[in-house]
Amino acid sequence: MEIVAFGVQADERPLLEQAFAGRHQVRCLDVFLDRDTAPIAHGYEVVSTSVNDDLSAEVLQTLAAGGTKMVAQRSTGFNNIDLEAAADLALTIGRVSAYSPYAVAEFAWLLALAVNRRLVPAANRTRNFDFRLDGLMGRDLHGRTAGVLGTGKIGTAFARIAHGFGMQLLGWDLVENPECAALGMRYVPRERLFAEADLISLHVPLTEDTRHLVDAAALAAMKDDAILVNSSRGGLIDTAALVETLKARRLTGVGLDVYEEEAGLFFYDKSLDVVGDDTLARLMTFANVLVTSHQAYFTEEAVGQIIRTTVANVEDHLAGRTSAHLLVTRGQLPAAVR
């Protein structure tokens, strides 16, 4: 059988082809799935997608009409998929429940350290043989307070690194994690976390309840010299409110690997285009803001695990098996996802 995979990165392609070798052929496309590209999948029983593909009801209808029976998403997040529409169309939807938490946690720390120590401006200066230190002073993180919103596997990995730095730990989650508690983390209401943390890192999924978790009120509660990092989902932050906060000369630094309107931008080369997103354009003008293109997960270990799980999801579908990675099984939507 031949599978079509959308949104495949150049470094990801050989790993994907190798994983399916001897099992199925895989047609790797660098274009993303949307209403215009969906007809390409006509005749393919299995379609593999990335987190920035469009799996709205309209696109899913096109896939189903073309004979697609399964969508195997190569990510943990699935906020881009209309699961109820998939159930109505009797599709099977798979995802990757978990992969290397260290990939994302380590990258979140990379962002935090880079904005704290003004790494990008410093590197840009030295490339021009400007070796002054003016404006590059950072702060010791030892002894300061890290606030972790979401203490699952990634949040816990982030907290362990913070503990290694000698930081105090505040946490917020629906359920307390004993591993974090063992590190000395104190679970507090999120309002208190916003007010007391020197460094705040987001590690929660994007749901209706968490959309704009960091809104104008949360930003106003933060310390003027706080550092904010988001390596989870862009919609967790109200970007317009963040821009206003930065314009008021508040926050020491912001590190973002995700952006709420990243679809159609991230993973593309827009260097020769006129980008019409005024909010993103304004955000990029701040010297204390570092934006990367959703690459926190992009390590050999994490991508390898994502691909292995994707292969397993396809094999389970073809064999009629169910697993914890399936969000919709032949039109049946688990109660936990409804």
**Active-site residues: which are they?**
233, 262
Element (H, E) at 241: helix 239-247
Cα 4–Cα 8–Cα 12 angle in degrees, nearest 5: 115
Contact 316, 309 (CB under 8 A): no
Q: Quick one: which of 81, 90, 155 has its CA closest to 337?
A: 81
Q: Taking a C-beta distance cutoff of 8 angstroms, is the pair 21, 308 a contact?
A: no
What φ, ψ does residue 109 adopt, rounded to 5°?
-70, -35
Separation of alpha carbons 257 and 302, rounded Å: 16
> Is 229 within 8 Å of 108 (Cβ atoms)?
yes
Q: Which amino acid is at 206?
A: L
Q: How far apart are CA 268 and CA 76, in angstroms?
A: 21
Token pair for 119: 């790494």
Do 242 and 214 contact (CB within 8 A), yes or no? yes
Cα–Cα nearest to 200, from 244, 147, 159, 150: 147
Of 149, 70, 111, the residue nearest 256 (C-alpha): 111
Angle CA 60–310–321, to nearest 5: 85
237 φ, ψ (degrees, to nearest 5): -115, 135
DSSP-assigned states of every residue in 87-142: HHTT-EEE------HHHHHHHHHHHHHHHHTTHHHHHHHHHTT----TT------T
What SS3 class is residue 194? helix
d(CA 116, CA 289): 10
